[in-house]
Structure 1
Amino acid sequence: MTFAFDNAPVWLDLLGVFFFAVSGSLLAARKHIDIVGSLLLASLVGLGGGVIRDIILNSGPPAAFTTPAYLVPPVLATALVYFLFPYVQRYTSMLTLFDAGGLALFCMTGTVKALAAGMNPVASVLLGVTTAVGGGLLRDVTANEVPELFNAKSIYAVPAFVGAVMTTVLWMTGVFNVLTGAAVAAVVFTFRVLAWRRSWQAPLAVHGLNRRGKDSSL
């Protein structure tokens, strides 16, 4: 049984916002940014991908500006990090784990919303990936960090692409539902975390170029 995005639980999208927002507040805490900056960074990463998605779909004002519930996750994330950061800072993987959770959910919800709006499968996959990586890109650029999207030592967009493709296939075959959606999110989350832990790397932009920027044939 499939479900249209308009009928999908709003909490699914809000959960993705929360995961990304926590990653933004954690980054703010590590960089000793004040609580106002933490809230802004949490809002930017949590809502950025969805805003980009809704603007591309031209479906009216972005949900982040029309549904007050979308403002709750960034505030909650900022408060949690403010009070709990001293207890979780020893776990260096926390930022990556929350970021992976947001990536897993947003690549799926972005793709589903595009499909429900009538976009073709290829465009829907691209929009799903854009939704997933857009917020993280805005977060890292704003915080003066090298964006994970362009980190040669990490795989970031590939898990989102895999999740968007899986979502599209499930949707087109009529078997996309809450359970299969959860399975897609689990695959993307696991892929992203394993890629980070095991330092999986995508090929460089130029064949024959090693990681130090020298031609390996010389």
Structure 2
Amino acid sequence: MDTSLLYLFDLFGTAIFAISGVLLAARLKMDPFGMVVLASVTAIGGGSIRDMMLGATPVFWIIDNNYLWVIFITCLATLLLVRQPKQLPWYILPVCDAIGLAVFVGIGVEKTLLLQDSMMIAVIMGVLTGCGGGIIRDILAREIPMVLRSEIYATACIAGGITHTLALYFGLPSQPAFLLGVVTTLTIRLAAIRWHLSLPTLSVKS
């Protein structure tokens, strides 16, 4: 994929994930500093872990401070536009999270393939890019991370990452493959939100 287009998608995903962090912080009545922290770890946490694991250091937001500016501006805009988060429809936060999730999985796959050739590692890093920030966000908010619940969350990321890499393997150009992976992740995640789909849970009798 064209690196400039990938960069725009990356900034877009950063803004969307920052919004989800601010909305959660507002619902938990955090102060402005807490909101910025929660928005930041949500937006750049997964990508930071990915870059460190791949040896792509310094991590992306240290090299390019535009990511931090996007987070700060998004936090301010969200605070100004959303004065009473408790009155927002229940689905706003999970839908914002789903959009950011889908975009970041695709970005994780693309960036990983720029550094190495293993499609399996690309899928894993795509899932990490999408889920990593949300895991840190939920831990800081003292909630069980969505990836550890029975909800279809990481499964959607895996499906999107596999779709993305398989499309590339069978010769689809990079941009359509990226979009196909994003749409796959987003469709599965939104369906899970809409119809409350979940994976079966294991129960052990004591």
- CA contact under 8 A between 1:50 and 1:64: conserved in structure 2? no
Picking from 101, 108, 111, the partner of 1:110 is: 108
> Secondary structure of the equivalent of 2:83?
helix
Cα drift, residue 86 of structure 1? 2.9
Letter in 1 for 2:66: A
Alignment partner of 1:176 is 2:178? no
Q: Distance in 2 between matches of 1:19 and 1:176?
A: 26
Picking from 105, 123, 140, the partner of 2:121 is: 123
Describe how 1:73-92 pairs up with structure 2 within 5 A: 73-86=70-83, 89-92=87-90
Cα drift, residue 84 of structure 1? 1.6
- CA contact under 8 A between 1:29 and 1:85: conserved in structure 2? no
Alignment partner of 1:13 is 2:10? yes
Q: Distance in 2 between matches of 1:92 and 1:86?
A: 15
Q: CA-atom RMSD, angstroms?
A: 1.8
> Secondary structure of the equivalent of 1:9?
helix
Picking from 34, 37, 40, the partner of 2:34 is: 37
- CA contact under 8 A between 2:164 and 2:180: conserved in structure 1? no
> Secondary structure of the equivalent of 1:203?
coil
Q: Distance in 2 between matches of 1:74 and 1:144?
A: 22
Residues 36-91 of structure 1 deviation map (CA, whole Å, 9 limit, x = unaligned): 11011101100001101111110221001110111122112211221122366422
Q: Decide which structure has greater helix share.
A: 2
- Of structures 1 and 2, the larger Rg is shown by 1
Q: Distance in 1 between matches of 2:29 and 2:4?
A: 41
Cα drift, residue 144 of structure 1? 0.8
Q: What is the TM-score with the length of structure 1 in the denominator?
A: 0.87
Q: Which runs of 5+ in 2 are unaligned?
A: none
- CA contact under 8 A between 2:17 and 2:97: conserved in structure 1? yes
Describe how 1:186-205 pairs up with structure 2 within 5 A: 186-204=183-201
Q: Distance in 2 between matches of 1:52 and 1:104?
A: 17
Count the aligned residue pairs. 205
> Secondary structure of the equivalent of 2:82?
helix
Q: Distance in 2 between matches of 1:19 and 1:78?
A: 10
Q: What is the TM-score with the length of structure 2 in the denominator?
A: 0.92
Letter in 2 for 1:92: W
